[in-house]
Structure 1
Amino acid sequence: MWIGSPCWFCGASDKGAHKKLHGSTAKIPWKVDCNRNLKRRGKYRSWVYMTLDQRETKTKQKEDFSKGSLSLPQRPRRNRKSDAIRSLTRETILLPQHLVYPIFIHADSYVKPIPSMPDCQVHSISSMLEQVDMAYRWGVQNVILFPKIDVKLKSNTASECYNPNGLVPQAISEIKSKFPKVMVWTDIALDPYSSMGHDGMVGDIVQGKQKQSVILNDETVQQLCRQALCHAAAGADVVAPSDMMDGRIGAIRMALDEKGYTYVSICSYTAKYASSFYGPFRDALDSAPVDIPGVPKDKKTYQMDPGNALEALREMELDEHEGADMLMVKPGLPYLDIIRLIRENTTLPVVVYQVSGEYAMIKAATQQGWLDEKQCVMESLLCFRRAGANAILTYFAKDAAQWLVEQDDIARKSFLQ
Structure 2
Amino acid sequence: MRLAWSMMALCLWLGSPAMAEALRFDYLERQVTQPPVLSNMSALPEDLGLAGARLGLEDIATTGRFTGIDYWLEVTQVPPEAEFLPAARALLETGARVLIVNAPAADLLALADLPEAQDALIFNIAAPERDLRAEECRANMLHTVPSTAMRADALAQFALWKRWTDVALIAGSYPEDVEFADALRASVLKFGFEIKGEKTWAFDANMRRAASAEVPLFTQDLPDHDLLLVADERGDFARYIAYNTWEPRPLAGSEGVQPRGWSGVVEQHGAAQLQNRFRDLSGREMRATDYAGWAAIAALGEAATRSGAREAEGLRGYLLSGEFRLAGFLGTPLSFRAWNGQMRQPIPLVTERAVVALAPLEGFLHQNSELDTLGFDAPESPCTAFGETR
Q: So what's the TM-score if we normalise by structure 1? A: 0.26
Relative contact order (C-alpha < 8 Å, sep 6+): which is higher?
Answer: 2
| More helix per residue | 1
